[in-house]
Amino acid sequence: MIKAFLFDLDGVLVDTAVFHYKAWKRLANQLGFDIDEEFNETLKGISRMDSLDAILKHGGVSLSQEEKEKYAKIKNDWYLELVNQMTVNDILPGVETFLKESRSIGIKIALGSASKNASLILEKTGILVLFDAIIDGNHVSRSKPDPEVFLKGAEALGVENDACVVFEDAYAGVQAAKAANMLAVGIGSEEVLHNADLITKGLNEMSPSEIITKIL
């Protein structure tokens, strides 16, 4: 029986995955190289510092710890410039209805995100109140595909792992869900998310009850 839904943030509830890409690309360009969308896929679900390490490796650039912290902050400042322009209109289509319908059929809801900016974004888009628990980059030490973020989410909700469904747009996020012994709905393309139990283009495509029926 399904008792809880755990949602990734960037690319599932809000379109901030694009903002991360823009800000990381700008940083790479400043450091003298470029990143493309295909490489960006590998950063999804990965913490800020782990993302920076992956980008530097990709560009063949090595920096001291102090410089890395400086550049991570620069990237986050650029990212926040984009986030600060967000309003309630920036939640992805169908998200608010999906969350409300889930609650109305007794499903508990948690956030499971690698981002340290999660609460700010949920607040700006007006959906923070719909969550029973928030687990984000401030509560975990290991990036997806490690299951830590989802295990902590299930624990905070008081729900067994195998009664949880995770919603993810990242391959590493689906891997994390599987490692936590949870079911996974991939939000995006079959090509990227072939490890998910069910794939949909967005939360506006299926109702919570339909998801539960199809995934079991």
Residues marked active site are found at 8, 10
Burial per residue of 164-174, b for 16 or more beta-carbon CB atoms within 10 angstroms, e otherwise: bbbbbbbbbbb
Site for ligand G1P in 62-81 (CB under 6 A): 76
Q: How many CB atoms lie within 10 A of CB 189?
A: 11
Beta bridge partners of 110: 6, 133
Tell me which stretch binds Mg ion (CB under 5 A): 1-9, 65-73, 94-102, 203-211.
Answer: 1-9
Site for ligand G1P in 137-166 (CB under 6 A): 137
Tell me which stretch binds ligand G1P (CB under 6 A): 42-50, 99-107, 125-133, 207-215.
Answer: 42-50
Cα–Cα distance list, 50 to 60, 112, 137, 141, 158 (Å) = 15, 17, 12, 11, 30
* Residue of 5, 10, 75, 121 interacting with Mg ion (CB under 5 A): 10
Q: Which of 168, 166, 176, 169 is nearest to 145 (CA)?
A: 176
Site for Mg ion in 140-179 (CB under 5 A): 169-170
Give Cβ neighbours of residue 213 (< 8 Å, ≥ 6 apart).
none
* Residue of 11, 112, 153, 208 interacting with Mg ion (CB under 5 A): 11
Tell me which stretch binds ligand G1P (CB under 6 A): 58-66, 110-118, 127-135, 150-158.
Answer: 110-118
Q: How many CB atoms lie within 10 A of CB 148?
A: 19
Pick the closer one to Mg ion by CB: 40 or 102: 40
Pick the closer one to Mg ion by CB: 154 or 187: 187
Pick the closer one to ligand G1P by CB: 47 or 102: 47
Partner from Mg ion, ligand G1P, none contacting 169, C-beta within 5 to 8 A by type: Mg ion
Q: Which of 10, 5, 20 is nearest to 80 (CA)?
A: 20
Token pair of 7 as six digits:
């949602």
Binding residues (CB under 6 A) for ligand G1P: these are: 9-10, 20, 43-48, 51, 76, 113-117, 137
